[in-house]
Structure 1
Amino acid sequence: MQNTSSPGKRFLRRFFLFIAGLSLTILCLLGIALAIFWAPDKPVDELKARWAPPPSQFITVNGMSVHVRDEGKQDDPVPIILIHGTSASLHTWEAWVAELKGQHRVISMDIPAFGLTGPRADADYRSPTYARFILDLLDTMKVERCIIAGNSLGGEVAWQVAVAAPQRVERLILVDAGGYAFKSSSIPLGFRIARMPQVAWIAEHILPRRMMENSVKNVYGNPDKVTPALVDRYTAMTLREGNRHALSQRFQQTSSGAHAASIKNIHVPTLIIWGGQDRLIPPEYASKFNQDIAGSKLVIFDKLGHVPHEEDPAATVAVVKEFLK
């Protein structure tokens, strides 16, 4: 029998069959990827044994169970407070703490949305809320006055504490700190995905190890320094129940540079440490801090990246110890 259908109809039929086949292929590939990289959240109690041995403790701050380490000289009237950055944890400061605790009391913590502390009930991850959290933590631990240090987001929180409560801050240490409306030359893949609401559900349920490894290497000046153990730690902290969803919420609430005008109101002795190979917050912003904070001291480590305290703790903490003299 002769085929009477027009060429146009035959083309449309083939086209729709092609699209249907392509969609099925994509769905199959997506299903395979989910099966391979499926990584559900882990309850915090499951992670504590490995990641919260002594001297870790959990204290209640405004209803949150906060992972804290309080080390060194307990009679030190002005302890050092260490605040980590986005997707990090108090573990990032371990080498600094080891060097500082012989002469000082040193307090580190997992801030909300990260580490073993996990999400806030109210899902408020704006930087002023973090600053208020640190002040509440100090109140809970009965710390009247401190030396406060922070990296990246933690640096932004640290200087906001110095602005909000200058009478409580004796010295300020900023390590590749946030605060200005910065322009990155490279952003870790994990951060880029967390900023995309359209893939948020997938990002909250899969975690390819290679993606985590590449994200950590992205913030190091020398990627060869990133060890499997380091990737294990960042992976475990990311898998803490609720952290991935909270990270996505935090990025949606971020308003880069919204409070930068108040940086000029900082009048405490300030040390600025920066990695010369920082591609997330490039070194030009170190110079802006140095210009805006009167009397501040700037030290740039040419070969280090966004987390210089973690990448080369010996060199960076030596500068801190000199500053604290």
Structure 2
Amino acid sequence: MQNRSHPGKRLFLLLAGLCLAILCVAGLALAVFWAPDKPLDELTARWAPAPSQFITVDGISVHVRDEGVRDDPAPIVLIHGTSASLHTWEAWVAALKAQHRVISMDIPAFGLTGPRPDADYHSPAYARFMLDLLDTMKVGHFIIGGNSLGGEVAWQVAVAAPQRVERLILVDAGGYAFKPVSMPLGFRLARMQQLSWITEHTLPHHMMEASVRNVYGDPEKVTPALVERYTAMTLRAGNRHALGQRFQQTDPGAQAASIKSIRIPTLIIWGGQDRLIPPENARRFNEDIAGSKLVMFDKLGHVPHEEDPAATVAAVKEFLK
């Protein structure tokens, strides 16, 4: 007598086999790409040499560099973007510090500063943090600039404390709603809550390299040393979890109406090849901020200050004259 399996049983066995195969592949991927958090102490020797210092602000130990002319009445304050660090400004700082005091920092959730205790990563919270940091450093008046998220924080500081801000520099800044032409793979994965456990415990080298190359106009400029730096900052304990929280709290364009209130001399620098925040947003800033100046670098991407620091800082020096 022929033994025939019930169709339901065959389907069950097929699905069970498929699930087992998926689990095996996932387990193999975890084993190959496993990358645990690194404690701060392990990173500071390599990434926080002098003049780096740590200043306590709002219960957070903040990685800060304060360089250049000590008696400058209006220091230049530079704020990095998502998943970056103060290192992104090193070439600008080197070019500016002979004539200016320049302050750069790792903002909460990124770099060596790491997560906030209260996990508040809304952009207005970042603006309050910046003012608290500058109060702690006893900086009254200042010039403020930022890239991407840092640019959004910079103009929100200018809106919140216009009497303290002498000039504003926006570099591919956030602020308006936008539709990316292309988003770095690391950002796309970090936005998926269902993958949070995996993204917080693995970090494939090719993913990090692809993410950095994605924000450059010319990906061939991305060096192994650059990828190493971004990787180290990502692995700082707590940063990957905080990045996911930051993306869940992001609301592009929520504060955009206040941009038109800015009456501070403003320089807008943008990469014409920015595929994350398109150049159309540069023109919106230029239209909404009365008297602002827009300088477009047609061949550069989302981080023009890092991709071609010499050309972009020349525009800043001209603006500061």
1:72: Cα distance to partner? 0.3
The residue aligned with 2:291 is 295
The residue aligned with 2:179 is 183
Report SS of the residue matched to 2:72: coil
The residue aligned with 2:189 is 193
Match for 1:277 among 248, 258, 273? 273
The residue aligned with 2:161 is 165
Render the CA deviation track for 1:200-236: whole Å, top value 9, x for unaligned: 1110000000000000000000000000000000000
Match for 1:224 among 220, 224, 240? 220
Q: Which amino acid aligns with 2:80?
A: H
The residue aligned with 2:208 is 212
Instruction: Tell me, yes or no, if structure 1 residue 61 matches structure 2 residue 57.
Output: yes
Q: Which amino acid aligns with 2:48?
A: A
Report SS of the residue matched to 2:163: helix
Report SS of the residue matched to 1:70: strand
1:63: Cα distance to partner? 1.2
Report SS of the residue matched to 2:102: strand
1:79: Cα distance to partner? 0.3
Instruction: Tell me, yes or no, if structure 1 residue 319 matches structure 2 residue 302.
Output: no
Partner Cα separation in structure 1 for residue 24 and residue 197 of structure 2 = 18
Match for 2:86 among 83, 90, 93? 90
Residues 115-134 of structure 1: pairs in structure 2 closer than 5 A: 115-134=111-130
- For structure 1, the 5+ residue unaligned runs are none
Report SS of the residue matched to 1:320: helix
Render the CA deviation track for 1:91-121: whole Å, top value 9, x for unaligned: 0000000000000000000000000000000
Render the CA deviation track for 1:268-318: whole Å, top value 9, x for unaligned: 000000000000000000000000000000000000000000000000000
Match for 2:136 among 137, 140, 143? 140
**Displacement over 6 Å in runs of 4+:** none
1:4: Cα distance to partner? 5.8
Query: Number of paired residues?
Result: 321
Partner Cα separation in structure 2 for residue 24 and residue 286 of structure 1 = 50
Partner Cα separation in structure 2 for residue 56 and residue 265 of structure 1 = 35
The residue aligned with 1:251 is 247
Match for 2:27 among 14, 25, 31? 31
Instruction: Tell me, yes or no, if structure 1 residue 266 matches structure 2 residue 265.
Output: no
Partner Cα separation in structure 2 for residue 38 and residue 70 of structure 1 = 36
Report SS of the residue matched to 2:61: strand
The residue aligned with 1:3 is 2
Partner Cα separation in structure 1 for residue 263 and residue 9 of structure 2 = 73
Report SS of the residue matched to 1:207: coil
Partner Cα separation in structure 2 for residue 157 and residue 124 of structure 1 = 14
Q: Which amino acid aligns with 2:145?
A: A
Q: Which amino acid aligns with 1:305?
A: G
The residue aligned with 2:48 is 52
Q: Which amino acid aligns with 1:66?
A: V
Report SS of the residue matched to 2:290: coil
- Seen in structure 2, the aligned counterparts of structure 1 residues 190 and 60 have a Cα distance that, compared at 3 Å, is same
Instruction: Tell me, yes or no, if structure 1 residue 106 matches structure 2 residue 88.
Output: no
Report SS of the residue matched to 1:67: strand
1:14: Cα distance to partner? 2.4
Partner Cα separation in structure 1 for residue 101 and residue 174 of structure 2 = 26
Partner Cα separation in structure 2 for residue 16 and residue 261 of structure 1 = 55
Greater C-alpha radius of gyration: 1
Query: What is the RMSD of the two structures over their aligned residues, measured on CA atoms?
Result: 0.8
Q: Which amino acid aligns with 1:36?
A: V
Report SS of the residue matched to 2:166: strand
The residue aligned with 1:41 is 37
- TM-score, normalised by the number of residues in structure 2: 0.99
Partner Cα separation in structure 2 for residue 15 and residue 137 of structure 1 = 61
Match for 2:66 among 61, 64, 70? 70
- For structure 2, the 5+ residue unaligned runs are none
Q: Which amino acid aligns with 1:212?
A: M
The residue aligned with 2:232 is 236
Q: Which amino acid aligns with 2:219?
A: P
Partner Cα separation in structure 2 for residue 20 and residue 167 of structure 1 = 66
Q: Which amino acid aligns with 1:3?
A: Q
The residue aligned with 1:152 is 148
1:62: Cα distance to partner? 1.3
Partner Cα separation in structure 2 for residue 205 and residue 4 of structure 1 = 47
Report SS of the residue matched to 2:6: helix
